[in-house]
Amino acid sequence: MRSIRTNTKRRASRRTMTILASPLMFKRITFILLVVLLAWEYQAARPPPPNICGSPGGPPVTAPRVRLRDGRFLAYKEHGVPKQVAKYKIIFVHPFGASRHDPVIATSVSPEVIEDLGVYIVSFDRPGYGESDPDPKRTAKSLALDIEELGDQLELGSKFYVIGYSMGGQVIWKCLKYIPHRLAGAALIAPVINYWWPGLPANLSSYAYKKQPPQDQWAVRVAHYIPWLTYWWNTQKFFPSSSVVSGKPENVFSRQDWEIIRNGKVSRSEKHRAHVTQQGEAESIFRDMIVGFGSWEFGPTDLKNPFASNERSVHLWQGDEDKLVPVELQRYIAEKLPWIHYHEVPGGGHLLPAADGMSEVILRALLIREK
């Protein structure tokens, strides 16, 4: 009897093993595990909703703001002489991971020079940054239209100047494309390159791309090809994320940059540092990456001279030791746009406008064409 029960158990065990070992069951188990894994990854990849300023439980609104046509608010800060008496009115576009509190073109120039030139500068929080409402539908074109509307609501006149730095410099290409009729002049300072812009030679783009650290190559590749994964990629711990996001200064700063940092010329208060992404990172820095490295409907080399009569000018400033923005591609763009005043600064890094006297030089070249 005991032998019969033992044999029965053995046969049941063999049947169970046979079922589990069958190819069909293996596929089913693999499929279930894959679904569970994908569900977990999907939840992890989804960023938390933005904590909008002025909403219940959200950060307080402390800045003056304008309300745009679509209902979003844009926060701004004014610098220099009053706009009513200003000779020159400038809208400054801040870089990646910054805010309206970081208008280097204003803070790096003495108040005496600003007053002598008669300059009014307004900086603003780009969508999702600081106290400006997020714009989940942001495109290459939408921010240029935001800038135009900001100028209108602040009554800056039919034409105004635009200056952008780094990722903010990239925005100036959009202004030259979509609102050239509103510009009195423009300056791009170390504007970030999109390696997938139309018009860039594939071999040169590939060369410049591969000069970047591998983690930065992957970060921009994800933003371009798998934009919905950008938040997860830069917040997960399995693979290294963007050097800028993860704070890897050895991949970012040049010799001149380190000297500028040691001299305390780019210090930012902890209050303003926390202010930058107080509404969340998804609709500020990571939306920046998605739009900046996404697919554009034009490239800078497609642009036409907005000042054909030479009454105004466009300037492009680039340090030749910039570790974030490849000088080779900047040179190529400048060669294809002979109407651009290209200024390559020997030894200059990405913190170029914070170097001694540099912002004043940039202002004078743009406003009074001083060489």
What is the per-residue pLDDT across 147-176, written as a single tens digit (0 to 9) for each?
999 999 999 999 999 999 999 999 999 999
- pLDDT of 20 reads 45
- pLDDT of 371 reads 58
What φ, ψ does residue 74 adopt, rounded to 5°? -120, 120
Residues in the chain predicted with pLDDT less than 50, given as ranges, are 1-6, 9, 16, 19-20, 39
User: CB–CB of 89/106 below 8 Å?
Assistant: no
Sign of CA dihedral 206, 344, 105, 88: negative
User: CB–CB of 100/66 below 8 Å?
Assistant: no
- Beta carbons within 10 angstroms of residue 51's beta carbon: 15
- pLDDT of 251 reads 78
- pLDDT of 22 reads 61
Q: How far apart are CA 215 and CA 140, in angstroms?
A: 25
What φ, ψ does residue 273 adopt, rounded to 5°? -65, -45
- pLDDT of 46 reads 80
User: CB–CB of 174/303 below 8 Å?
Assistant: no
Burial state string for 90-104 with b = 16 or more CB within 10 A and e = fewer than 16: bbbbbbbbbbbbbbb
- Beta carbons within 10 angstroms of residue 321's beta carbon: 17
- pLDDT of 162 reads 98
Using CA atoms of 323, 295, 228, 49 in order, give the dihedral in degrees to the nearest 10.
90
Q: How far apart are CA 53 and CA 62, in angstroms?
A: 9
Domains and CATH numbers, the chain: 65-304+311-367 (3.40.50.1820)
The DSSP secondary-structure symbol of 353 reads G
User: CB–CB of 229/235 below 8 Å?
Assistant: no
Give residue 277's identity as a one-letter amino acid code.
T
Read off the pTM.
0.87
Q: How far apart are CA 151 and CA 79, in angstroms?
A: 15
Using CA atoms of 221, 227, 233, 239 in order, give the dihedral in degrees to the nearest 10.
-20
115-to-93, 228, 357 alpha-carbon distances in Å: 21, 46, 16
Residue of 124, 133, 114, 122 lying closest to 69 (CA atoms): 133
What is the three-class DSSP state of 119?
strand
Residue of 171, 76, 77, 69 lying closest to 132 (CA atoms): 76
